[in-house]
Amino acid sequence: MDIKQIVAAEPTGQSLEVRAWVRTFRSNRFIALNDGSTSQNLQVVVDFERESEALLRRITTGACLRIKGDLVESQGKGQKVELMATEIEVLGDADAEEYPLQPKKHSMEFLRENAHLRPRTQTFGAVFRLRHGLQFAIHKYFNDNGFFMVHTPIITGSDAEGAGEMFRVSTLDPKTPPLNDKGELNWKEDFFGKETNLTVSGQLEAELFALGLGKVYTFGPTFRAENSNTTRHLAEFWMIEPEVAFNDLFDNMELAEDCLKYVIRYVMEHCKDDLQLLHDRQQEEEKSLPQDKRAMPLLEKLAFATDNEFVRCSYTEAIDILRNSKPNKKKKFKYLIDEWGADLQSEHERFLVEKHFGKPVILYDYPANIKAFYMRLNEDGKTVRAMDILFPGIGEIVGGSQREERFDVLKQKIAEFGIDEESLWWYLQTRKFGTCVHSGFGLGFERLMNFITGMTNIRDVIPFPRSPKNAEF
Ligand code: ATP
Ligand code: MN
């Protein structure tokens, strides 16, 4: 039986066997045992007079045990049941002198350096069980709403996705690279006979499927060689990208809002214990901060996202708000807003969400020249049907748009962006044959994880983070 089932069972003195790891062992009598099935530990009571000194010494934090015992009502407070051990076997020792995790608080940096052991801690156990629950909720949401999941390629031959710097995929020997007559690298000799990269987004391929299957989504890894060492960027992250035929930009917003609210509610209902643990952890961490420096308590924040209507605000309105805002006038922003056309930085996004509106915000109709080539041009000729969803504490969590479905306009845009039209022949063909209005968005899975868990660094919500100069494990 899993500890999750055991701690919820009626204690009738029944005999049970568990295999799990020691979290703590105190007074030579109480073992807090955890097998990862739940954030709750099973309290095991050891009759130290029955066990040998040698065995007791091997019950250390991190050791793996097999224990047989009788499940009884707990005498102590804090748990309903406890296991009176009748038989203890050490399956795997953990030398207390050497085991990196001590029964005390470790810094997040230290735990990142020990990412191979992180799953054994309370906090990361909760985070990664939640990660599972959340990805399940996402698949359930789309499945229940008639979407088909498409596996878009991870190795891509198109260099026009435009979402960020790419990682090259090659089997050429860097010591003896084949050169062409011009002395340049000859990609024709590479594995695929051309230059290939890891994908930065599955969108273009998802569009092809939306124009055949109607409602589709991808949920896969994406890679960006952006040299940004922030708490919001990873070089390898997971993205959910729905794409829907016949949806315009406002349908797209509705889908994103509905999806976000659904998955947040899902984990609030199905991952209660782990969320409670993370909520309590955050409260504990912030106890020493002055009231105005504290973040909104986690469970309150989640309810705030599910219970509020997301604000819809055009880019143009947002610029007005920002231009007249206190931090802009007092020159508190690092990047001051003075004219229409400026790209919004995270500080501006957070001001709008956290200070101005106090609700999640959907910004839309951005200047065409700061957005990608495939976004649908508005009648004004200078804005595109793009939308970003901004969340408190996170900034941009979703980026999406209505796609340019008009062949001539798209062709023109491709030229203006200096993209080789040849490389997108297949994409352009969908606009030539049976084109239609369609929209989609990209939701960063780890950014959503950050929001839901209250973890402040994106490296702490993915099992093995990849970032500049870091690919350990
Ligand atoms: P940002 O401006 O924050 O870098 P972006 O405009 O590059 O984001 P998009 O290309 O629109 O983002 O990607 C869609 C979504 O993927 C974003 O809204 C965000 O949630 C997520 N995302 C983008 N880049 C990263 C990254 N490097 N690491 C983790 N998540 C990311
Ligand atoms: Mn980016």
Spell out the domain ranges in the chain. 3-104, 122-165+200-460, 171-197
273 ligand 1 Cβ < 6 A: no
> How many angstroms separate the alpha carbon of residue 63 from the centre of ligand 1?
40
pLDDT tens sequence for the chain (473 residues): 999 999 999 999 999 999 999 999 999 999 999 999 999 999 999 998 999 999 999 999 999 999 999 999 998 888 899 999 999 999 999 999 999 998 888 999 999 999 999 999 999 999 999 999 999 999 999 999 999 999 999 999 886 666 678 999 999 999 999 999 999 999 999 999 999 999 999 999 999 999 999 999 999 999 999 888 899 999 999 999 999 999 999 999 999 999 999 999 999 999 999 999 999 999 998 888 888 788 889 999 999 899 999 999 999 999 999 999 999 999 999 999 999 999 999 899 999 998 999 899 999 999 999 999 999 999 999 999 999 999 988 899 999 999 999 999 999 999 999 999 998 999 999 999 999 999 999 999 999 999 999 999 999 999 999 999 999 99
The residue whose C-alpha atom lies closest to atom 24 belonging to ligand 1 is: 233
Pairing of strands 42-45, 64-73: unpaired
Pairing of strands 81-92, 42-45: parallel
CATH class of segment(s) 122-165+200-460: alpha beta
Nearest ligand atom owner, CA of 346: 1
324/344 Cα distance (integer angstroms): 15
> Which stretches within 195-345 are classed as H helix?
203-213, 249-270, 272-286, 298-307, 315-323, 326-329
CATH architecture of 3-104: Beta Barrel (2.40)
392 ligand 1 Cβ < 6 A: no
The residue whose C-alpha atom lies closest to atom 20 belonging to ligand 1 is: 444
The residue whose C-alpha atom lies closest to atom 27 belonging to ligand 1 is: 233
Type of residue found at 319: I
400 ligand 1 Cβ < 6 A: no
The residue whose C-alpha atom lies closest to atom 8 belonging to ligand 1 is: 396
200/221 Cα distance (integer angstroms): 9
Pairing of strands 196-198, 168-169: antiparallel
Q: φ, ψ for residue 331 (rounded to 5)?
A: 55, 40
Please give the model's pTM, rounded to 2 decimal places: 0.95
Can you give the C-alpha Rg of the chain in angstroms?
27
360 ligand 1 Cβ < 6 A: no
> Is residue 197 a contact partner of residue 222, using CB atoms and an 8 Å limit?
no
> Is residue 225 a contact partner of residue 416, using CB atoms and an 8 Å limit?
no
> Is residue 405 a contact partner of residue 436, using CB atoms and an 8 Å limit?
yes
> How many angstroms separate the alpha carbon of residue 467 from the centre of ligand 2?
14
Locate 469 and state its tokens: 């100069």
Nearest ligand atom owner, CA of 388: 1
350 ligand 1 Cβ < 6 A: no
Spatial strand order of the sheet with 236-245 comes to: 148-149, 215-223, 236-245, 438-444, 395-402, 383-391, 361-367, 311-314
459 ligand 1 Cβ < 6 A: no
